[in-house]
């Protein structure tokens, strides 16, 4: 798996300011996370803590962020020192993190798409399930296995392009090229089918697996001219999944 975020940790943090991140990604993920009051929440592949902070400020009692990149965890801890939100961070691959049965809710923004084989996907889903209490929920956003990647449109006006080869085979790389104000950077993740995801989730003990399409928040709709979000919503390059342990 190519998951080295150390060299791009700061650029990645800047990419979170792109409008679609707020009006589609955060809006949808926090909506699916639901009522956080009193909940113990684990933010898997937490990066520099973008969602860990939103989850804690949203009312979660406990938030643990887990990520395998030292650069990302350093940025997360730096912000925790400045803001004192009471978030714990752990440097670890999620497949080795431990914490059996501790959490009510697991959130993962961009984790499952780092699996390039069904075995890796299964190991990730087992790890997510392992840290949840029975009845605990898992909500996640990833590159979508539901679209035809061979005919995707340009997403340049939203600040990125998604680049794909010429075969939708398991493990085929998806390259996300982000355009920041003065620079670009690339992230590579991987295509695995919808059925591979469902089998891995079921095999790890999840049920009520729902694929949730993207929506734009009312604020995001109002901020742009009519039709601005049409390309994003017509061929949705990312998708939410929610499911329940047990
Ligand atoms: C696209 S970033 C997302 C960060 C954060 N969730 C966000 O939305 O801002 C993906 C993160 O996944 C982490 N990652 C990838 N595979 C991982 C694994 N097996 N265990 C833990 N972290 C992983 C990377 O280090 C990186 O920080």
DSSP state letters, 202-244: HHTTEEEEEEE-----HHHHHHS-TTTTHHHHHS-SEEEEEEE
Structurally, the chain folds into a number of domains equal to 1
Residue 54 alpha carbon to ligand 1 centre in Å: 16
Residue 105 domain boundaries: 6-144+192-223+237-245
- Asked if residue 64 belongs to a domain, the reply is yes
- Asked if residue 42 belongs to a domain, the reply is yes
CATH number of the CATH domain containing 136:
3.40.50.150
| Phi, psi of 126, deg, nearest 5 | -60, -40
Residue 19 alpha carbon to ligand 1 centre in Å: 20
Q: What is the tens place of the pLDDT at every residue in 104-120?
A: 999 999 999 999 999 99
Q: Whose CA is nearest to atom 20 of ligand 1?
A: 93
- Asked if residue 138 belongs to a domain, the reply is yes
Q: What is the tens place of the pLDDT at every residue in 80-137?
A: 999 999 999 999 999 999 999 999 999 999 999 999 999 999 999 999 999 999 999 9
Burial 219-233 (b: 16+ CB within 10 A, else e): ebeeeeeeeebebbe
- Asked if residue 218 belongs to a domain, the reply is yes
Q: Whose CA is nearest to atom 26 of ligand 1?
A: 47
Percentage of residues of the chain with pLDDT beyond 90? 96
Instruction: Quote the mean pLDDT of the chain.
Output: 96
- Asked if residue 56 belongs to a domain, the reply is yes
- Asked if residue 89 belongs to a domain, the reply is yes
- Asked if residue 178 belongs to a domain, the reply is no
Question: CB of 21 closer than 6 A to ligand 1?
Answer: no
Q: Whose CA is nearest to atom 19 of ligand 1?
A: 93
Q: Best substitution site from 26, 43, 111 to test ligand 1's pocket, by max atoms within 8 Å of Cβ? A: 111
Task: Locate the ligand 1 atom nearest the alpha carbon of residue 187 and give its number.
Answer: 1
- Asked if residue 228 belongs to a domain, the reply is no
Residue 208 alpha carbon to ligand 1 centre in Å: 25
């Amino acid at each position: 798996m190519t998951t080295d975020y150390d060299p791009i940790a700061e650029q990645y943090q800047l990419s979170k300011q792109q409008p679609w991140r707020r009006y589609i990604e955060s809006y949808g993920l926090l909506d699916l996370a639901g009522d956080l009051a009193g909940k113990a929440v684990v933010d898997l592949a937490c990066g520099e803590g973008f969602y860990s902070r939103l989850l804690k400020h949203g009312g979660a009692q406990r938030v643990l962020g887990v990520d395998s990149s030292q650069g990302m965890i350093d940025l997360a801890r730096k912000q925790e020192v400045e803001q004192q939100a009471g978030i714990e961070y752990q440097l670890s691959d999620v497949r080795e993190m431990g914490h059996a049965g501790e959490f009510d809710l697991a959130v993962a923004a961009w984790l499952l798409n780092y699996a390039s084989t069904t075995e890796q996907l299964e190991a990730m889903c087992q790890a997510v399930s392992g840290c949840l209490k029975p009845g605990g929920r898992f909500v996640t956003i990833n590159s979508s296995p539901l679209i035809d990647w061979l005919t995707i449109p340009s997403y340049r006006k939203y600040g990125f392009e998604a680049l794909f080869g010429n075969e939708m085979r398991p493990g085929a790389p998806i390259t996300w090229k982000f355009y920041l104000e003065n620079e670009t950077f690339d992230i590579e993740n991987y295509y695995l089918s919808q059925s591979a995801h469902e089998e891995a989730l079921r095999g790890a003990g999840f049920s009520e697996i729902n694929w949730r399409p993207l929506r734009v928040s009312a604020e995001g709709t109002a901020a742009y001219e009519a039709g601005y979000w049409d390309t994003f919503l017509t061929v949705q390059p990312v998708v939410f999944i929610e499911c329940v342990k047990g």
